[in-house]
Amino acid sequence: MIESVLIANRGEIAARIIKTAEKMGIRTVSLFTETDRGTPHTQLADKAVFLPDLPGHGEPYLDIERIITVARAEQVDAIHPGYGFLSENPEFAAACQKAGITFMGPDADAIRLMGDKGAAKQKMIENGVPCIPGYNGADQSDETLAIEAEKIGLPVLIKAAAGGGGRGMRLVEDMNDFESLLASARAEAASAFGSDAVILEKALTTVRHIEVQVAADAHGNVVHLFERDCTCQRRNQKVIEEAPSTVLEEDLRERLGADAVQAARSINYRGVGTVEFLMLPSGEYYFIEMNTRLQVEHPVTEYITGIDLVDWQFRIASDAPLPKEQADITFTGHAIEVRLYAEDPDENFLPQTGTVLEWSPATLPHIRNDHMIVPGRDISARYDPMIAKVIAWGESREQARRRLAKALRGQRLAGFRTNCAFLLRCLEHDYFRDNELDTGFIARLLDEPKAPVPHPLEQVAVASTYLVECRKWQSGPTDWSSLGNPFRHWHYKIEDTLKSCQVSIDGDRVRYQDPDSAVILDIRFEETGPHSMIGWIDDQAHPFTFWEENGETVLDFGEHTLALTANPFAAERDGDGASDNTIVAPMAGKIIAVEAQAGDRVDKGQAVILLEAMKMEHRLCVPRDAKVDRVSARIGDQVARGDILLALEAED
């Protein structure tokens, strides 16, 4: 059995691997950069090794030579790559083998084959695994690809040949757009995977994304651990995952599992991995790719099967046979996972940065929280914006769904915006409740108007902000005058609308009167943390977190997030219109493309700067037709949020 392991990863997956290793008595060594100093995975490991940023070396977690050097120095038996970073890098697997260190995953040949989408597809066709019609040839000229796209028929999908996860993927619905979409896909693929090669596939509509968990040992044993339904996606990125799929009849489940096992067996796979399929309403399904690593969504499989997949990884890497045969693997109940991101859904899911001011996950029965959140630490733009996974199990899908929604409502997180309200919106949608899903579900949901914010939440938000402001002005929280507690006019801006009301404060209570109503509300506040409160109206509790952000108070009620500007002494005034003349960085990141220079004429909506942050690319567009006055952004620049990148000539 492996006795020591180095985890070449960070955050929640590193912490999760360490916990299983600890149960098995395996010594652990973690890595950390300056950004990750003091995070949970560095504290849980038996030893943590610092990887400083070195000029010319790039991201430390991607530096194969340095990681191997640390592994040798620490005399570990194995390296676990987690997911992301080097987990599907064949050169890393080969370097481990050359150094005499066990790589906890398949060999370099299997990773390389499955990493090449065209070669992987051809291998599956040869072994009888159904594949989507398309083109995966060696001729990568624009002309050939356009001809092949015409043959396949629209809509057609352009996909990066060397990677997955939605990067380097573009949907073509009009051949007039093919050239520009191909160029865009190539550029993103080259940036993400180091290769601009692509394949083409017939774009299937009204499909589900079903993936099968497989495991294979060095003794020829290959099994599946049933399927996960990952249909809820946004731009080909998984948002909600569940297991098992409730739309599969038993014979279809068996056929899917058998094809997944055949896929793994055909490449002499060793380790745990995931074979992914798209399934039509008819039950027909097609192979799309194989992920040769542990998946982000592996906890839902662990919940229903009772099997620790990381434990199995350690056993397989130690040359032990699989702990169970296929007939002995069963599942019970249903599990659902959501990915909690530091992003603002109301701003096109723009990644967010900030300091964790307060964090309290919901500790409820049958709820699992895998996270990397530490109060007082900064959420950086350096890494992926996923900060936690919340997983619920139930005896039925509906019970798991309700438990998960309750857990999301019950957690407390302050300091930056997240997608929590968006996740609840998905979970509570009739289509999700009724399991009437396909991969276009979230796109359609985003086209629907959002439910208005319930009036009590706005009243609580206004009253709480007034309470906090009063405590800043005076030593005590009570308004006082010789006339008792008077009402004051309180001006505020909420969601870009200027409003006013009358308020009065007495201890932890705020009396609130809307100017259009004679009704006076008595709102009592209970502090539950440094940045969290409960607002009580009669016997109804409204818990929320709050923090300051760019001059606003942000209040997160779980299903709704409000931004309120306290403006008690100023009347409405016009803005200076500066935003129409400049493009500023919406968050910290790196400039990777500049498409305009001083003197150029640009059209409204034209993308002029490409900013990379949190492993995502953000196209910054001009707000109006204009002439460029100056460009301060340069390719390679690291910019901070709010930096002016480009200025337009002022309007006449």
On whether the CB atoms of residues 530 and 545 are closer than 8 A, the answer is no
Neighbours of 538 (CB within 10 A): 10
Residue type, 638: Q
Cβ atoms within 10 A of the Cβ of 167, count? 20
Report the alpha-carbon distance of residue 493 to residue 500 in Å, rounded: 8
Q: Which two tokens stand for residue 1?
A: 């059995």
Rounded Cα gap, residues 428 and 77, in angstroms: 47
| Cβ neighbourhood burial of 599 (10 Å; 0-12, 13-18, 19+) | exposed
> How far apart are alpha carbons 564 and 575 in whole angstroms?
17
DSSP labels, 236-295: TEEEEEEES-TT--HHHHHHHHHHHHHHHHHTT--EEEEEEEEE-TTS-EEEEEEE-S--
**Is omega for the bond preceding 130 within 30 degrees of 0, making it cis?**
no
Q: Is 293 an annotated catalytic residue?
A: yes
Distance (Å, rounded) from C-alpha 225 to C-alpha 302?
A: 9
**Reduced to 3 states, what is the DSSP secondary structure of residue 118?**
helix
In 429-586, alpha helices (H): 430-433, 441-447, 455-473
Q: Which secondary structure element, helix H or strand E, spans residue 18, and what is its range? A: helix 11-23
Tokens 């640390």 label which residue? 70
Tokens of 388: 């936690």
Q: Which of 293, 315, 368, 417 is catalytic?
A: 293
Phi and psi at residue 44, to the nearest 5°: -80, -30
Residues in the chain: 652
Considering only CA atoms, which of 556, 576, 555 is closest in space to residue 565? 555
Q: Which residues are catalytic?
A: 293
